[in-house]
Amino acid sequence: MAKLLKAIADGLVKQVKIPVQGIQMLGKTVQANGGFFNGGLTRTVVQLYRMDNVKYGFFVGEDKYGNKYWQNDFYFFGSNRWVEYSPQVGMRIDASQIPAEWHRWLHYVTDIPPSEEPPVQHRWMADHEQNPTGTGSRYIPYSTTREKIEPWDPTQSKKQLESKR
């Protein structure tokens, strides 16, 4: 299989003039996702579709929501830690789906991931919730004041409108 990947890489480099390092990175990613014939190519394409990026690295941990966290120090600082969101959310990806303890690790506040050293959970601490903005469970404030502008209702006649005033 390695010979097949090498032959494909050599052919692409000669025809399209793709940098060798990019082809090697793609080959490593396919291998890390399960190999060429064992679903790795499919998982790599899905990763490209969902993340707009193809990366490979070492699995660091998974949170209780199904998000998977990865690290590869070969990449530049700032892009060497990343999250693959749970397949349950599909393409509705939001940064508020990451719990606080994993947010600390992703943003280099700590180098020890929560999978190695779980944070202390006090009884007064609330469980993590995703930001509901844009969903049916969003916050809608209640107002006791009358609206200054009334929406037009085409079913009302002029007499009904004048009687309201």
Q: In terms of domains, do 16 and 42 share one?
A: yes
Q: What does the mean pLDDT of the chain come to?
A: 77
Report if residue 18 sits inside a domain: yes
Q: What is the pLDDT of residues 2-50, one digit of tens each?
A: 565 566 556 544 555 556 566 666 666 666 665 555 566 777 777 778 7
Report if residue 64 sits inside a domain: yes
Q: What is the pLDDT of residues 53-109, one digit of tens each?
A: 777 788 899 998 899 998 888 888 877 888 988 888 888 888 888 998 999 999 989
Provide the number of structural domains found in the chain. Answer: 2
Which residues span the domain enclosing 113?
A: 57-121
Give the per-residue pLDDT at 13.
Answer: 47
Mean pLDDT of 123-143: 84
What are the structure tokens assigned to 119, written together? 């944070």
Report if residue 16 sits inside a domain: yes
Q: Are 54 and 48 in contact (CB under 8 A)?
A: yes
For 56, which DSSP code?
A: -
Report if residue 46 sits inside a domain: yes
pTM score above 0.85: no
Cα separation values, 34 from 9, 30, 42, 80, 84, Å: 18, 7, 9, 21, 16
Distance CA 142, CA 138 (A): 13
